[in-house]
């Protein structure tokens, strides 16, 4: 619309954000919790003079640096890359609102990188106290990064008073800030213990060390699980009314929420019975299972966090189809295709006769032959619908959703989009454009499958 | 393509000069480590494979430092990209969306390149006895990927400044009016010299780094090594300057009319000439002093000269970008809604952060000594 839409077949471009984001959070939370783990445990090992434990911590630091500084940092950049490509208008609003939040977070990121390298490469050469202090600097910096980023991601779900004040501080300290910070802190603690268990169980043969690690990492992990639960409850409590309704209405989200609580409970019980009470249970298989449960809970949580914002990308600021809510009325009046700079270019180039005084002429559009209606309907679909719907196959593809619906039924749904499905963005075009979209949808609708109750007249396709 | 009227969007959160200042400053700092992997990696690998004793040693040293340099390069690259998106979003986003898959490929290439560098560096331990064909291939693969990443960046940023090319690329690479993200700005005459110019500058930066490394970071290497590195860096800097001059001249020749008028008109022409001539200063210092004793003072002078080269380059590029994007909209005329409090928070954090980083580096230097 305002920016060219990026068409990603089958997946849809916003799902690329989700895919990269999920991968990133699984490492970035470890980057925070793992930093705290290394700082605390290195201090403990040095205090107690446990050389074997220190040797293990050094090996773990190498693994930590290789994973977080390389993969974690680049996938973080990857999210930023993808949001600009798949959701440029929302990214523009976010960057202009929070550039100094990001810039401040960046300073802590620099400190993280420098301290991580100093901590690892000068392990034996720094004075003991200095070494531990640098570990702590890393841990604190990483946690502050988490806090700042939580404020920005929480803003997307509930900007709170920012909607009136447009103040940076209102935006950052939004109603979702505290719950998400608590949940993410818990996630960082829990996930880092799970990484430690997996790494330790795979690389350690020494029974004493094995049990020591199992015991010492159990408490932060249990605390993490509790914080996730507390933060999760807070997240639900401070959801905007619409998001809560989305959660209630989408059965898949209900299942996923239950799944998160179930997975978190399973992880909690396994942690308590395993590493906390019976450290000897911590075999590679046990640690791997714990890790899988933890990663599944995390990934599910991120998916839900994204999904409940519908119909917005930025709650009450940018709609899912990359327009501002205040633009809807004008687009309904003058035409969706005529209102976007890129869609307008198509009219200018291929259908200049449809434009009268800069507005889309309804009668001329309705008079187009079916081939042109389908062509323009496809353009409208790409810019108005492809954010959330693949075409014939793929993520939430529209094809399977319209099986059995005739043109008039589709037309009614399009024109009453936010009424037919309250979590969808409002229809933002003229009646003639709605008709073109309905004709396009009809052209891609799959055949009604056999074995269904027959339509009146025995038709197999509407 | 006209930009849209987005008067309801938040204004620039800082005065435009602030956005430009941090963009230019960030890009200048980013170029230092980025140059060391862009041209430095391929040079170091070549020297390690086919160079004499000192060349081989320098190649190994640079590749051992490479994991940290890559991290710093990525890290410092965030600043200019952040401020680019603040001030130039309406040119930057359409351009990168048109080539979305290639733009995203930068991230996809960077991950294996980074691990390739690590693999190669692991192979260099214990005087290279751990080097295996796979590790060697990983290093060369990483160097190739860095060059490819540079090419993709040159594409994205040349397309950002070339809105006239958008409609044609969009129409050729679209489905139902949506960009397929498979366009590249190959028809832009500025693309190739732009890419090559950066490689020439990167060679000079690598040469300057070689003497910095020899003067400060290599106390265990003997005086012979230092002499060898000086000779090497003199040659590399000279080659880099010749390369940069040729590529720079090519770039200027193919500038669009508006850019030529702006950059070759008085008084901006003075800056253009200074930018073009500047790589010869560090090159001259390196070449003329290649037989002299390497002192830290001389190394510092070379670093200062190269930093000035990079800063001049960043400023000139910024002016060129402003002229190019002006065809789309006047970036300096955007409404502002300055966030003074958050800006102060950032600046204070930046100062405090610099102090913390300074303290950590001081501890590291103490440990080294």
Residue B197 domain flag: yes
Contact A77 B341 (CB under 8 A): no
Residue B75 domain flag: yes
Full residue range of the structural domain in which residue B178 is found: 16-336
- The least confident of A376-380, B125-129, B208-212, B252-256 is B125-129
User: What number is the ipTM of this complex?
Assistant: 0.94
Out of A66, A341, A349, whose CB is closest to B2? Answer: A341
Tokens of B180: 């397929």
In angstroms, what separates the C-alpha of B114 from chain A's closest C-alpha?
7
Residue B351 domain flag: no
Asked if the model's pLDDT at residue A253 lies above 60, the reply is yes
Residue B355 domain flag: no
Residues of B in contact with A166 (CB under 8 A): 10, 337
Out of B174, B350, B363, whose CB is closest to A107? Answer: B350
Convert the pLDDT of each residue in B80-110 to its tens digit: 999 999 999 999 999 999 999 999 999 999 9
In angstroms, what separates the C-alpha of A154 from chain B's closest C-alpha?
18
Most confident of A247-256, B123-132, B187-196, B213-222: B187-196
Average pLDDT over residues A347-366: 93
Nearest to A9 by CA among B95, B100, B106, B186: B100
Most A-contacting residue of B74, B121, B177 (CB-CB within 10 A), to test interface: B177
Out of B107, B342, B367, whose CB is closest to A122? Answer: B367
What mean pLDDT is reported for chain A?
94
Asked if the model's pLDDT at residue A462 lies above 80, the reply is no
The nearest alpha carbon in chain B to A347 belongs to B177
In angstroms, what separates the C-alpha of A329 from chain B's closest C-alpha?
15
Cα-Cα-Cα-Cα dihedral sign, residues B280, B283, B289, B291: negative
Asked if the model's pLDDT at residue A302 lies above 70, the reply is yes
Please report the number of interchain residue pairs, chain A to chain B, with beta-carbon separation below 8 angstroms.
213
pLDDT tier at A460, thresholds 50, 70, 90: low
Contact B9 A93 (CB under 8 A): yes
Instruction: Identify whether the C-beta of residue B160 lies closer than 8 Å to the C-beta of residue B92.
Output: yes
In angstroms, what separates the C-alpha of B246 from chain A's closest C-alpha?
33
Q: Which residues contact A344 (CB under 8 A, 6 or more apart)?
A: A337, A338
Average pLDDT over residues B331-356: 96
Q: Cα(A335)–Cα(A366) distance, rounded to whole angstroms?
A: 13
Domains in chain B: how many in total? 1
Convert the pLDDT of each residue in B280-311 to its tens digit: 999 999 999 988 888 999 999 999 999 999 99
Residue B207 domain flag: yes
Out of A5, A81, A379, whose CB is closest to B103? Answer: A81
Contact A85 B107 (CB under 8 A): no
Cis (ω within 30 of 0) for the bond into B267? yes
Contact B177 A343 (CB under 8 A): yes
The nearest alpha carbon in chain A to B70 belongs to A70
- Quickly tell me which residue has 């040797």 as its tokens: A55
User: What is the set of domains in chain A, with CATH numbers?
Assistant: 13-319 (1.20.1630), 325-448 (no CATH)
Residues of A in contact with B167 (CB under 8 A): 345, 349
In angstroms, what separates the C-alpha of B24 from chain A's closest C-alpha?
15
Q: Cα(A58)–Cα(A61) distance, rounded to whole angstroms?
A: 5
Residue B95 domain flag: yes
Asked if the model's pLDDT at residue B3 lies above 50, the reply is no
Residues of A in contact with B106 (CB under 8 A): 81
Q: Cα(A142)–Cα(A83) distance, rounded to whole angstroms?
A: 23
Out of A85, A92, A379, whose CB is closest to B96? Answer: A85
């Amino acid at each position: 619309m305002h920016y060219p839409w990026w068409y990603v077949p089958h997946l849809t471009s916003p799902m690329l954000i989700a895919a990269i984001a999920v991968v990133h959070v699984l490492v970035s939370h470890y980057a925070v919790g793992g930093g705290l783990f290394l700082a605390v445990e290195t201090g403990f090992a040095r205090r107690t003079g446990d050389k074997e434990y220190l040797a293990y911590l050094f090996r773990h630091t190498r693994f930590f640096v290789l994973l977080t500084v390389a993969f974690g940092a680049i996938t973080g950049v990857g999210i930023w890359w993808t949001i600009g490509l798949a959701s440029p208008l929302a990214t523009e609003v976010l960057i202009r609102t929070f550039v100094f939040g990001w810039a401040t977070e960046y300073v802590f990121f620099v400190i993280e990188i420098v301290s991580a390298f100093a901590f690892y490469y000068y392990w034996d050469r720094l004075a003991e106290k200095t070494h531990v202090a640098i570990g702590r600097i890393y841990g604190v910096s990483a946690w502050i990064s988490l806090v700042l980023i939580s404020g920005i991601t929480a803003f997307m779900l509930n900007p709170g008073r920012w909607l009136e004040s447009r103040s940076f501080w209102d935006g950052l300290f939004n109603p979702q800030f505290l719950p998400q910070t608590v949940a993410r802190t818990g996630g960082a603690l829990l996930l880092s213990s799970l990484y430690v268990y997996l790494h330790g169980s795979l690389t350690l043969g020494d029974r004493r060390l094995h049990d020591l690690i199992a015991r010492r990492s159990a408490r932060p992990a249990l605390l993490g699980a509790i914080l996730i639960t507390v933060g999760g409850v807070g997240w639900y409590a401070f959801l905007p009314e619409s998001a809560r309704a989305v959660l209630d209405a989408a059965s898949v989200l209900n299942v996923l929420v239950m799944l998160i609580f179930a997975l978190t409970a399973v992880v909690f019980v396994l942690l308590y019975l395993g590493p906390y009470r019976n450290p000897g249970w911590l075999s590679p298989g046990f640690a791997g299972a714990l890790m899988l449960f933890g990663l599944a809970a995390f990934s599910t949580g991120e998916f839900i966090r994204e999904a409940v914002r519908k119909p917005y990308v930025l709650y009450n600021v940018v709609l899912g189809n990359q327009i501002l809510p205040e633009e809807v009325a004008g687009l309904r009046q003058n035409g969706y295709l005529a209102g976007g700079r890129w869609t307008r270019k198509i009219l200018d180039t291929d259908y200049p006769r449809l434009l009268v005084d800069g507005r889309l002429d309804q009668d001329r559009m309705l008079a187009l032959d079916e081939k042109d209606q389908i062509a323009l309907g496809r353009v409208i679909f790409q810019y108005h619908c492809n954010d959330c719907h693949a075409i014939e196959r793929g993520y939430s593809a529209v094809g399977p959703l319209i099986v059995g619906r005739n043109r008039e039924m589709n037309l009614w749904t399009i024109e009453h989009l936010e009424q037919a499905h309250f979590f969808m963005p409002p229809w933002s075009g003229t009646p003639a454009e709605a008709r073109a979209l309905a004709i396009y949808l009809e052209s891609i609708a799959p055949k009604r499958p056999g074995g269904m109750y027959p339509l009146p007249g025995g038709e197999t396709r509407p | 393509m006209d930009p849209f009227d987005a008067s309801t969007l938040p204004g620039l959160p800082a005065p435009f000069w602030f956005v430009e200042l941090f963009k230019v400053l960030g890009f200048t700092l980013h170029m230092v480590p980025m140059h060391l992997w862009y041209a430095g990696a391929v040079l170091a690998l070549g020297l390690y494979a086919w160079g004499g004793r000192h060349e081989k040693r320098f190649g190994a040293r640079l590749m051992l430092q490479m994991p940290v340099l890559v991290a710093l390069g990525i890290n410092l690259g965030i600043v200019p990209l952040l401020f680019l998106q603040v001030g130039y979003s309406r040119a930057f986003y359409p351009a990168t969306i048109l080539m979305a898959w290639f733009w995203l490929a930068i991230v996809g290439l960077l991950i294996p390149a980074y691990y390739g560098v690590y693999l190669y560096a692991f192979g260099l331990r214990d005087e290279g006895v751990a080097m295996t064909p796979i590790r060697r291939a990983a290093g060369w693969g990483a160097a190739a990927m860095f060059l490819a990443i540079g090419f993709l960046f040159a594409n994205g940023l040349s397309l950002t400044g070339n809105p006239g090319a958008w409609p044609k690329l969009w129409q050729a690479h679209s489905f139902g009016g949506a960009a397929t993200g498979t366009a590249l700005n190959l028809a832009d005459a500025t693309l190739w010299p732009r890419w090559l110019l950066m490689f020439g500058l990167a060679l000079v930066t690598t040469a300057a780094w070689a003497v910095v490394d020899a003067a400060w970071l290599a106390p265990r290497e003997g005086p012979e090594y230092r002499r060898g590195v000086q000779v090497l860096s003199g040659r590399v800097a000279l080659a880099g300057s010749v390369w940069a001059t040729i590529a720079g001249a090519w770039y200027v020749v193919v500038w669009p009319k508006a850019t030529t008028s702006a950059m070759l008109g008085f008084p901006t022409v003075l800056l253009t000439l200074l930018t073009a001539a500047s790589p010869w200063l560090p090159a001259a210092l390196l070449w003329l002093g290649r037989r002299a004793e390497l002192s830290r003072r001389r190394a510092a002078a070379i670093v200062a000269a190269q930093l000035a080269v990079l800063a001049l380059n960043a400023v000139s590029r910024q002016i060129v970008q402003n002229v190019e994007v002006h065809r789309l909209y006047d970036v300096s005329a955007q409404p502002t809604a300055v966030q003074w409090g958050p800006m102060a928070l950032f600046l204070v954090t930046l100062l405090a952060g610099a102090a913390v980083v300074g303290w950590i580096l001081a501890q590291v230097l103490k440990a080294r000594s």
